Amino acid sequence: MSTKINEVKSLFEAPEPYLKRRRFNINIRAETVQYFLRNRDFTRILDVGCGDGSASIPLLAAQKSLTLLDLSQNMLAIAQSKVPPGLSKNVQAINQDFLNANLQPGTFDLIICLGLLAHVDSPKDVIGKIAQLLRPNGLVIIQSTDSGGFLTRLGVSYRRILEAFGRMKYRYTLTTTNQVVQMFAACGLELSEIYRYSLPSLPAIDRIFSQRALYNYVRLAYGPAQNNYNTWPGKECIYLFAPTSRPPSPHEFAPTASAIRD
């Protein structure tokens, strides 16, 4: 098991503080997923890095199946506890690293992957496996932080100051929006929709304001997915990718080594 995997597992094995501090953002992500999937058909869902299942469990129905995958056994247990009893037989839970998970290629027609790319060594490998697991005409909803934005660069500078004083040791893997789009293009998937916003980033802001107040701030500043505005400072990106009408080109994609790391 790689050092990165161990770090991520340790980071989320005690999920309650994260879920408490980020509930407003979890709700924003879940609502964006619901909007992106309006009028779209899917039956087999994979939620990679599922967290507490807020994004995928509401999509469950009697005729649909859901695979929940997470490194954190405790986070996975929380997600399973939220599955309606009548639908528990439709849900499979996998406590494993995504790249090492034994999943059948061409199995899923919807893959959700929120908040994972920042915690992996190789975004290219993760996106490549996602593409392999899709059925023809399958959809992907994925989230990443745009490292090319002004607010992200500001955050990187702040974290480096904390690192200098020994206050922060964990390093995130960052990618630009262009890199994410190119990686999916190389796999034959094109950007269909995007929602861009930024989270309030002042230190300890979640201790000062309620989760409802933080949620309302994001909606006021950036709008919902169906009416997204002020996108230029938005560093949090939720993408919907769908199959492209043309075959992928190997020249469209830069190697993983070019991914920007914090």
User: Per the structure block, which two tokens stand in for 121?
Assistant: 């060594």
Place of tokens 């960052």: 174
Angle at 108 between CA 102 and CA 109, to 5 degrees: 165
Domain chopping of the chain, boundaries: 3-258
What's residue 56's pLDDT? 98
The alpha carbon of residue 189 and the mean position of all alpha carbons in its chain are separated, in whole angstroms, by: 17
Low-confidence ranges of the chain (pLDDT < 70): 1-3, 149-170, 246-262
Q: What gap in Å lies between CA 172 and CA 112, rounded to an integer?
A: 20
- What is each CA distance from 54 to 24, 89, 128, 186, 211, in whole angstroms? 11, 18, 25, 30, 16
- pLDDT at position 152 is 54
Instruction: Specify burial of residue 18 (Cβ count, 10 A radius: 0-12, 13-18, 19+).
Output: middle
Are 242 and 190 a contacting pair, CB within 8 Å?
Answer: yes
Distance CA 14, CA 74 (A): 7
Q: At 155, phi and psi to the nearest 5?
A: -65, -40
Residues contacting residue 85 through CB under 8 Å, at least 6 positions apart: none
The predicted pLDDT at position 254 comes to 41
Q: What is the pTM of this model?
A: 0.86
Q: Assign domain 3-258 one CATH number from 3.40.50.300, 2.40.50.140, 2.30.42.10, 3.40.50.150.
A: 3.40.50.150
Count CB-CB contacts under 10 A for residue 213: 13
Q: For 146-178, write each residue's pLDDT tens digit.
A: 988 655 555 555 555 545 655 545 677 889 999
Sign of the CA dihedral running 12, 13, 16, 17: negative
